[in-house]
Structure formats: C-alpha cells, structure tokens
Amino acid sequence: MSDILLQIDGREVGAREGMTILEAAQSVGISIPTLCHHEKLEPYGACRICTVEVEVNGWTKLVVSCVHPVEENIIVRTRSEKVDRISKTIIELLMAHAPDSPQLQDLAQEYGADKDRFEKDASFCIHCGLCVRYCAEVVKKNAIGFVGRGINKEISFIPEIAAKECDDCKECFPLCPTSYLQAAFVLTKALFSPPPSSEPVQDE
C-alpha cells in the first residue's frame, strides 16, 4: 500500500515511506537517467545526472533523485529548463574525461550536450564507483578500490585479490559506463601474471 502521494511529470504516483524519488519514478515507468545508481547497491549520489526539479509550496529546488526521499504532495519534474541545463553541463564535464562512452554519447544526444565544450582530460574513469561498490557490497571480495584524492583519484585492482577472484567473476565489467574498468583489469593482469618461463627447452 502507498503511504505517500506525489506528482511526477504530471502523474499521481503512490510511494512507500523511505523510497527515493528515482525509485518512485521507476515504479511507474518514468525514466530518469543514472550513471552511478544500481538497484543492488546503496545510493551513492556521485554523478548528479539524475537531478530533478522539485516544487514544494510554490518553491522549486533541484535535488539528486537517487538519494532524495519521496515526500507527500511534492511536484517532481524530470525535465525542465533548469534540469536540462544542469544535465547538459554534467554530461559535457563527464565527456571531457570519457568522450567515447556510449552511455554519455546517448545522453549528449538527448540533452543536446557539446562533447567538446570542456578541455579534454581523458582519464576515462568518471568515478561512478559502480565497480568498487559492486565488488564490495554484492560480490564481497573488495578486489578493487579507489586510490588517490581529488583529481588524482582513480580505481585500482588489488593485485593479490584480483589474481584469485576476478577471472571467474567479472560481474562488474558490464556496469562500467566507460571502457576504463576493462583496461585497468588488463593492465593489472599483466602486472600480476608471472613472466613467461625463460628456461631452455630440453631436447628429448
């Protein structure tokens, strides 16, 4: 049974206490773009691409829908001039890091984003954290983590764990919105693989 009634894109939506706006929208088939959200993971709120406009008593504000809880009688707009403007800028910023990401390219088309607006800094990882959190929260192996801070932050496989666990798992690979995760794994694997034997082959 629904505890809370709200309006999303002009539709009356019933939601349960504690649901996020994103969950309420998805429950009735209203789509909000996401990059760092996964239904099996704790909300993270990192990428901001799920930003929506909320109106309460005539006042509007922008909120991050994957972490913002539903409230009685709020009016939610998943598309508005403000939402589209901020979404476009977020996509343009992320495309400076990962211009070839198919997900970002689709979003760029949807929101009219210019992939060349910001100077390229092709680090390829957009720090969505899906790989790190999925490995920790779902697979419970912690084979991958973030290292560094700020602009130097990057994901890194833990070679000792990855060598044992990742070849038979790779569940996080399809979650990555860019090509970075697979590239990082190939690099790590090269580092933890023993070099080919240089022993001379004995004649029989």
β partners of residue 64: 51
Contact 99, 115 (CB under 8 A): yes
Among ligand FES, ligand SF4, none, the one that 130 touches (CB under a kind-dependent 5 to 8 A) is ligand SF4
Residues that bind ligand FES (CB under 6 A): 34-37, 45-50, 64, 66
Give the integer Cα–Cα distance in Å for 184 and 162: 11
- 59-64 vs 11-15, strand pairing mode: unpaired
Tokens of 79: 């598309």
| Least distance between ligand SF4 and beta carbon 19 (Å) | 25
| 194 half-sphere exposure, CB direction, 13 A CA radius | 3
Name the minimum Å distance from CB 168 to ligand FES.
Answer: 29
User: Which of the listed partners (ligand FES, ligand SF4, none) does 108 bind, with a CB threshold of 5 to 8 Å by partner kind?
Assistant: none
The entry of ligand FES, ligand SF4, none that residue 176 binds, CB within 5 to 8 Å by partner kind: ligand SF4
In the complex with ligand FES, which residue's Cβ is closer, 4 or 64?
A: 64
Q: How near is the Cβ of 113 to ligand FES at its closest, in Å? A: 16
Contact between 24 and 6 (Cβ < 8 Å): yes
**Cα-based torsion angle of the residue sequence 48, 83, 176, 127 in order, rounded to the nearest 10 degrees:** -30
Query: Cα–Cα distance between 35 and 92 in angstroms, integer?
Result: 14
Interaction partner, residue 175 (ligand SF4, ligand FES, none; CB < 5-8 Å by kind): ligand SF4
The one-letter code for the residue type at 75 is: I
- Rule CB under 6 A: which of 158-187 touch ligand SF4? 175-178, 180-181
What's the min distance (Å) between Cβ of 108 and ligand SF4?
A: 16
Query: CB under 5 to 8 A by kind: which of ligand FES, ligand SF4, none does 64 bind?
Result: ligand FES
Strands, E assignment, 57-204: 59-64, 75-77, 144-147, 154-157
Minimal distance, residue 150 CB to ligand SF4, in Å = 15
Q: List residues binding ligand SF4 (CB under 6 A).
A: 125-131, 155, 175-178, 180-181
